[in-house]
Amino acid sequence: MNFETLMAFAGRHPMLSLALAGLTVAIVYTEIARLFRGYKALKPAGLTALVNQGGTLVVDLSAIADFEKGHIPGSRNVIPSQFDPQGKLLAAAKQSPVVLVCRNGMASDAAAKKLKKAGFEQVYLLEGGIGAWEAAGLPLVKGRA
């Protein structure tokens, strides 16, 4: 395939070509934004390794009822509406690794941004949330922590 063939295809299929260009730009933007967001996503195995090192605070942002149905052992529950980086639970962990967990990974992204803005140095989130944890065959604890 050469440049002339590519331009001929684009001329015959302008909407398809625009869609491809738009998707390419969106993917590149998303990946670049991920590099500069200041926090990292962990897979369940990475979270397990980090917790095993000690000193890691795991914050579950699930609703209380969901938290009681099943949560990661040792995690602490904070509902998103009460999430405060200056609160008693989090302020003490400003220098320690803090891992944010929610049911699907969406609430933890917003909370991670707040922590980075508040000056937390080691912020992580569990990629895929509790669903990914369960899919990896890792244990959940029921009831309040």
Tell me the pLDDT of the chain (145 aa) as tens digits. Answer: 788 998 888 899 999 989 999 999 999 987 787 667 778 899 999 999 999 998 999 999 999 999 999 999 999 999 888 888 888 888 888 889 999 999 876 788 889 989 999 999 899 999 999 999 999 999 999 987 5
Task: Tell me, yes or no, whether 117 lies in a domain.
Answer: yes
User: Are 60 and 95 found together in one domain?
Assistant: yes
Q: Are residues 18 and 71 in the same domain?
A: no
Is residue 142 domain-resident? Answer: no
Helix segments in 37-105, DSSP class H: 44-53, 64-69, 88-91
Domain span at residue 105 reads 38-135
Please check whether residue 102 lies inside any domain of the structure: yes
- What's the pLDDT at 145? 59
30 & 77 share domain: no
pLDDT score at 88: 85
Domain assignment present for residue 45? The answer is: yes
pLDDT at 91: 84
Pairwise CA distance, residues 41 & 55, whole Å: 18
Domain-embedded: residue 143 = no
Q: How many domains does the chain have?
A: 2
With H, G, I as helix, E, B as strand and everything else as coil, classify residue 103: coil
Co-location of 71 and 30 in the same domain = no
Give the predicted TM-score (pTM) of the model.
Answer: 0.76
* CA distances (Å), origin 91, targets 95, 115, 121: 9, 10, 12
Residue 19 sits in the same domain as residue 50: no
